[in-house]
């Protein structure tokens, strides 16, 4: 059983919320919170990476679900693609575009996560690629912070 004092819990909860919000279409930034907590040294780096990665990945899942929801408007007159065009785009995306999810950590990466929902990327593949990308970003950020301050 892991025992955590309320101060550490509050810090991790704040990081989770910042990471979650940053992965959605909301204008949040989690890097400042992450680096601030890393520099404060009150929470283990492993916990910071795990909590930030989970929050950021779950935020991306929200975008994915929104993209899947857009699909229900597919037969509306104003929808920009026909069934044939959507089928062709989904085929291309399944083969090549799914790898854009490895850039989901980058600026405009939120758009890739919404598109993945529209294109009906299998959820297991979506979560795998987004988790790798988002965790990798926090690992690199932690390393850069450690190098800059060490």
Q: How far apart are CA 84 and CA 86, in angstroms?
A: 5
Positions in the chain short of pLDDT 70: 1-4, 71, 73-83
Distance of CA 125 to the CA centre of its chain: 13
Encode pLDDT of 35-66 as tens digits: 999 999 999 999 999 999 999 999 999 999 99
Closest CA to 117 of 83, 66, 59, 60: 66
Domain map (residue ranges) of the chain: 6-149
Residue 92, pLDDT score: 79
């Amino acid at each position: 059983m892991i025992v955590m004092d309320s101060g550490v819990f509050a810090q991790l909860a704040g990081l989770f919320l910042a990471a979650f919000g940053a992965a959605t279409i909301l204008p949040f930034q989690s890097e400042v919170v992450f680096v601030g907590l890393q520099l404060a040294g009150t929470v283990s780096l492993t916990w910071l990476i795990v909590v930030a990665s989970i929050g950021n990945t779950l935020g991306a899942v929200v975008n994915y679900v929104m993209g899947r929801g857009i699909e229900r408007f597919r037969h509306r007159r104003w929808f920009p693609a026909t069934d044939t065009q959507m089928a062709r785009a989904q085929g291309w995306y399944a083969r090549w575009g799914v790898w854009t999810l490895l850039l989901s950590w980058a600026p405009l990466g939120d758009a890739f996560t919404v598109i993945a929902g529209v294109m009906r990327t299998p959820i297991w593949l979506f979560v795998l690629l987004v988790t790798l990308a988002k965790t990798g970003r926090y690992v690199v950020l932690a390393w850069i912070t450690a190098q800059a301050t060490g």
